[in-house]
Amino acid sequence: MAGTVLGVGAGVFILALLWVLVLLLCALLSRASGPARFSVVFVFLGALIITSVLLLFPRASEVPAPEVEMKIVDSFFIGRYVLLAFLTAVFLGSLFLVLIHHILEPIYAKPLRSY
């Protein structure tokens, strides 16, 4: 599945880009005055024709090519857990310092009257 993003090919993104541009152009042309306002119909029909051509004449075959199975090996397994343990210790130490300096900070009484 080379050339796919999120399991879909480039054609889906081309169609999405086409329709976003068509909707933007239709919104801009609908604000125009005179005969330019009616060109929205031609823009929409052109997008329909391009979409139907792209859908009816696909480039790839319907039967996917057999894929070679790849074995995924995690070579940084131990290092990742050491890093996780270090970050956990730093987080707990920071949380302890927040408790000491902000939550348990003494509040001194202010005198009611000063003569």
What digits encode the pLDDT tens for the residues 28-86?
888 888 888 888 889 899 999 999 988 888 776 767 778 888 888 888 889 999 999 99
9 with 3: CB under 8 angstroms?
Answer: yes
CA dihedral 94, 100, 101, 106 (to 10 degrees): 170
Buried b (16+ CB within 10 A) or exposed e, 55-88: eeeeeeeeeeeeeeeeeeeeeeeeeeeeeeeeee
Provide the pLDDT confidence category of residue 3 given band limits of 50, 70 and 90. Answer: low
pLDDT of residue 106: 77
Helix (H) or strand (E) holding 62: none
The pLDDT of residue 72 is 86
> 11 near 54, Cβ under 8 Å?
yes
